[in-house]
Structure 1
Amino acid sequence: MVEDVPRTGFDKSSLERLEQLFIKTVGNEKEIRREEFKKIVTSKNPFFTERVFQIFDKDNSGSISLQEFIDAIHQFAGQSPEDKIKFLFKVYDLD
């Protein structure tokens, strides 16, 4: 994954930290399953957690790969307040 630094929008150090966080979270698994995700992203609103999972799971496989995780973090990290509002709108917009 670190070899994909230019494509991800992260510097090498940030990408390595994200990869380590992902591996620490999933252990020997290669993907984060829905139930694991719900343990990590806690919310009093199950709808919110489920929608965020669906947004991260771009291929609708029922789990989040390392690439999907990095893409989603990149989409949200360092974005303008307007972009963050658009992301939140996407969470709650079902159309």
Structure 2
Amino acid sequence: MQAAVDETRRKARAGAGGGKKSNQRRLENLETLMQEIERLSGVVDLMSEDRIVEQAFEAAQARQPKMPKTKRTLDGYGTALRSEEPFKSRYNKIFRRNT
């Protein structure tokens, strides 16, 4: 009985650790993407917001090999940049000049 309880606790700890690592990797990826968007901020008047984000995503993938590559991830990261601090204020500073 105790072995089963110990095993359950071990699995819970392992899952929690994996979640923390996954969240940390996501934050690192978002930071890399935001840095690439900031590098492209000079072309905001020349290109659409979506195209700048796409180009930044491509540059972030080249810079960070473990960056996810799917369209779904790009969409999710775009949503996170637009809605989660500290990225939201940085994103708005680039694309929403009256903010």
Using structure 2 for the length normalisation, give the TM-score.
0.29
Q: Hey, which of these two has a bigger chunk of helix by percent? A: 2
Using structure 1 for the length normalisation, give the TM-score.
0.30
Q: Hey, which of these two has a bigger chunk of strand by percent? A: 1
